Amino acid sequence: MSLQITSRGQGPDLALVHGWGLGAGVWNGIVDVLANDSRVHVVSLPGYAGSPDDRADFSATADALAAALPAGTCCCGWSLGGMLALAAAARHPRHFSRLVLVGSTARFLRDDGWPAAQPPELLDTFRHAIADDARTTLTRFVMLFNQGDTKARAVARALTPLLADGLPATATLLRGLGWLAEADLRDLLAGLTLPTLLLHGDQDPLMPFGAAEMLAARIPRARLERFAGCAHAPFISAPERFTDLLRSFCHEPA
């Protein structure tokens, strides 16, 4: 499997991994700042940005992420991309220098041991809606994960144009929903040895803040930074604080 990666800047390696539905364009507003002192690798997952969709499973995609990035990379993943980054770091513990999880979780679906998550019915609703009208569903998705953000309109204005640039195929979107349904990374958390930074909005309706608190309690070297008044995309609603924290963390000495 080959991931599509664009790189720019000079300095320590920093990878940005997008989540479900919107593609790597979500990072457009912060890449220039990050590239001032890092070599930034913007990853497009299979089926996004014209990259081939080879129908790989979640674990194989996590392995491909590790294989595609330079050793010593600080890997930052958002939402589903954070889950892939977490899996890649756990499966290849010596490859990455640091891990950053943005609005992410170890388990998307709720159960007795992981209450800060979504009911299975939500994914069922999205599956049916994506099969019927992907563009309208993704527009509603952006509105859903902005609920509660004090800058919701600005976030929507930044993300909505991405839906006009070419959507992933329906099969790619459905596969991503399948990953969200099936991935359960809780057993990997205690064994993560990397310094880990959790950047999470306290109003996140998709990946509740309680999930970040549970990650912080279970990952040995984790630090949680709370973004007050932010929902699921703090890198858009609070970009200056987000980039300051990310740059400081990734540039810390080992």
Say whether pLDDT at 1 is over 70: no
**CA end-to-end span of the chain:** 30
Radius of gyration of the chain measured on its C-alpha atoms: 16
Query: Does residue 208 have a pLDDT over 70?
Result: yes
CATH number, domain of 197, equals: 3.40.50.1820
pLDDT score of 254: 66
Structurally, the chain folds into a number of domains equal to 1
As a whole number of angstroms, the distance between CA 123 and CA 177 comes to 7
Predicted TM-score (pTM) of this structure: 0.96
Nearest to 21 by CA among 79, 68, 71: 79
Q: Given phi > 0 = left and psi -120 to 50 = alpha, else beta, which region is 189?
A: alpha
What's the domain range around 135? 4-250
204 as an active site residue: the answer is yes
Annotated active-site residue in 13, 38, 204, 237: 204
Could you tell me what percent of the chain has a pLDDT over 90? 85
Q: Percentage of the chain with pLDDT > 70?
A: 98
- The residue written with tokens 């998307």 in the block is 108
Please determine, for residue 51, whether its predicted confidence score (pLDDT) is greater than 80. Answer: no
Instruction: With a cut of 70, say whether residue 232 has pLDDT above it.
Output: yes
Q: Please say if the pLDDT value at position 16 is more than 70.
A: yes
Task: Tell me the pLDDT tens digit for each residue of 153-169.
Answer: 999 999 988 887 678 98
The pair of structure tokens assigned to 84 is 């892939």
**How many CB atoms sit inside 10 A of residue 26's CB?**
22
Under the banding of pLDDT at 50, 70 and 90, the label for residue 67 is very high
- What contacts 251, CB < 8 A, 6 or more positions away? 12, 37, 38
Residue-level pLDDT at 177: 95
DSSP state letter for 72: T
Mean pLDDT of the 184-198 span: 97
Between residues 3 and 91, the one the model is more confident about: 91
Closest of 122, 102, 128 to residue 17, by C-alpha: 102
Q: Average model confidence (pLDDT) for the chain? A: 94
Residue 211, CA atoms < 13 Å, CB-side half-sphere? 32
Tens digits of residue pLDDT in 32-42: 999 999 999 99
Q: How far apart are CA 82 and CA 60, in angstroms?
A: 15
Query: For residue 97, what pLDDT is reported?
Result: 96
State mean pLDDT over 182-199. Answer: 97
Choosing from 38, 44, 232, 237, the catalytic residue is 232
Q: For 166-210, give the DSSP string.
A: -PPPHHHHHHHHHHHHH-B-GGGGGG--S-EEEEEETT-SSS-HH
Catalytic residue among 79, 97, 104, 237: 79
d(CA 69, CA 79): 19
The type of residue at 32 is: D
Phi and psi (nearest 5°) for 165? -90, 5
